[in-house]
């Protein structure tokens, strides 16, 4: 297959062939692709082609409306599709098509991970992550706290070597559905974590996780990792804050719940929790069983995966009402549009809690303001509920609505950053 404009250049020693480590890494990716291919070869060919078309399109554009690539690349996909239908599947042929998209670039252990590949894997995990994890698929993302796209060791000496500039102010950032830690850096170059590091002296650490798992599964795992992180931090911590975008805010609240339940120390050391566009009471698009494609279209690589809505992950169905703990989902069928069965879980005691909501509305446009940022209603993002027992009591001076701001613009908005800076500087 011809390489896209985003394909990494070949290494200088390409003629020498891949190293053993590189070959093993590529083999794991191919085994993962094979498992998916066996389950739905034709559908996966369509899916990967649509993602390829988006990767190859100009930055900021959604890619071809039909999800088809053009030229020789398009012919390759068409041929694979024809072979699959004619003889019941050709895994080897399909893997040859999938490899450039899913296999890590040569020398990935030494180089930064490819943002394009990371975005594809994050989208795939957001939609099918629970299935990938259940089947031990190598494409399943394993939770890690990362910096610069690299997993951080959670032992003191190794962590000090990995973060030589680690300071006394720790900031953990948690991404949302179908996203990854590299996507905190937006197309305008802004990254809330790096900007807060410059303005307030925080050391940012980014969570990378499989957003297709249940929020409570990720919350429990995060609680354990944060306990290890604080124990291994090279310097005494004077300030500790968490910023979560979208689902990330739910994962943070879940982690606090399970951290306290396990008598861990880190919840008592957390000073601030800021939630950006978090669906504390759910996202109506999922709740209505419609518009899953709109929910996934929040990131450019997730849209093509919406065609697998019938297989949508546990993470997505948790967004129907904003599930945070096991009891919220464990007794029911997650695909049913059942009534809200959540346990009323208040804001955590201890840290200052902040909520930011976005809305497409202009000043005075009440109808659009209620709709919210296109994915999360204002009331849900601010924790408001018609039942007092479910209402999350964010203090009036710790909540803010930004007009003419979409769900994803919450990550790139200078005004949102300035609000975070003011809150976290106190």
pLDDT digits (tens, 9 = 90+) for 1-31: 333 334 444 333 334 444 555 555 555 554 5
Go through the chain and tell me how many residues it has.
Answer: 426
Q: Which range among 135-139, 242-246, 369-373 has the greatest average pLDDT?
A: 242-246
The pLDDT score that the predictor gives to residue 174 is 98
pLDDT score of 127: 76
What is the torsional sign of CA 199, 202, 208, 212? negative
Query: What's the pTM?
Result: 0.76
Other C-beta atoms within 10 Å of 207: how many?
25
Tens of pLDDT along 240-298? Answer: 999 999 999 999 999 999 999 999 999 999 999 999 999 999 987 655 443 444 454 55
Backbone angles phi and psi of 17, in degrees to 5: 85, 165
Average pLDDT rounded to a whole number, residues 199-214: 97
91: confidence class by pLDDT, cuts 50, 70, 90: very low
**Per-residue confidence (pLDDT) for residue 37, from 0 to 100:** 42
The per-residue pLDDT of the chain, averaged, comes to 77
Q: What percent of the chain has pLDDT over 90?
A: 50
Provide the pLDDT for residue 136: 81
Q: What pLDDT was estimated at residue 118?
A: 86
Report the alpha-carbon distance of residue 379 to residue 151 in Å, rounded: 36
Quote the pLDDT of residue 81.
47
Q: Would you tell me which CATH number, out of the four given (3.30.420.40, 3.40.50.1820, 3.40.50.970, 3.40.30.10), belongs to the domain 144-425?
A: 3.40.50.1820
What are the sequence ranges of the domains in the chain? 14-111, 144-425
Judged on CB neighbours under 10 Å (0-12, 13-18, 19+), 167 is: middle
Work out the burial of residue 336: count CB atoms within 10 Å of its CB; fewer than 13 is exposed, 13-18 middle, 19 or more buried. exposed
Are 386 and 311 contacting, i.e. CB atoms less than 8 angstroms apart?
A: no
């Amino acid at each position: 297959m011809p390489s896209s404009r985003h394909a990494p250049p070949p290494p200088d020693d390409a003629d020498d062939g891949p190293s053993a480590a590189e070959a093993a890494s590529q083999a794991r990716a191919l085994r993962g692709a094979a498992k998916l291919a066996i389950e739905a070869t034709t559908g996966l060919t369509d899916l990967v082609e649509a993602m390829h078309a988006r990767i190859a399109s100009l930055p900021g554009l959604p890619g071809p409306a039909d999800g088809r690539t053009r030229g020789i690349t398009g012919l390759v996909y068409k041929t694979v599709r024809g072979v699959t239908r004619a003889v019941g599947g050709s895994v080897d042929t399909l893997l040859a098509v999938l490899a450039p998209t899913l296999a890590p670039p040569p020398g990935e252990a030494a180089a930064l991970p490819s943002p394009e590949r990371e975005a594809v894997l994050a989208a795939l995990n957001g939609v099918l992550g629970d299935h990938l994890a259940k089947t031990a698929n190598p494409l399943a993302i394993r939770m890690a706290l990362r910096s610069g796209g690299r997993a951080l060791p959670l032992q003191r000496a190794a962590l000090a070597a990995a973060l030589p500039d680690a300071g006394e102010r720790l900031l953990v950032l948690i991404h949302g559905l179908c996203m990854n830690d590299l996507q905190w850096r937006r197309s305008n170059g802004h990254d809330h974590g790096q900007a807060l590091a410059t303005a307030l002296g925080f050391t940012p650490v980014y969570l990378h996780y499989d957003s297709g798992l249940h929020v409570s599964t990720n919350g429990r795992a995060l609680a354990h990792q944060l306990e290890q992180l604080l124990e291994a931090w090279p310097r005494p911590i004077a300030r500790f804050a968490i910023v979560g975008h979208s689902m990330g805010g739910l994962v943070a609240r879940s982690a606090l719940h399970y951290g306290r339940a396990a008598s861990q120390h880190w919840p008592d050391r957390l000073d601030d929790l800021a939630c950006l566009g978090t669906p504390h009471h759910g996202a109506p698009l999922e709740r209505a069983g419609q518009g899953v494609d709109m929910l996934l279209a929040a990131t450019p690589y997730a849209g093509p995966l919406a065609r697998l809505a019938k297989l949508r992950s546990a993470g997505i169905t948790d967004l129907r009402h904003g599930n945070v703990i096991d009891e919220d989902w464990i007794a029911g069928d997650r695909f049913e549009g059942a009534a809200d069965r959540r346990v009323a879980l208040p804001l955590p005691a201890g840290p200052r809690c902040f909520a930011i909501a976005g809305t497409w509305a202009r000043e005075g446009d009440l109808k659009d303001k209620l709709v919210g940022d296109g994915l999360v209603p204002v009331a849900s993002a601010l924790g408001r509920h018609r039942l007092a027992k479910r209402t999350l009591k964010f203090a009036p001076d710790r909540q803010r609505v930004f007009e003419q701001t979409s769900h994803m613009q919450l990550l790139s908005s200078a005004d949102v950053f300035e609000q975070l800076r003011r809150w976290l500087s106190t």
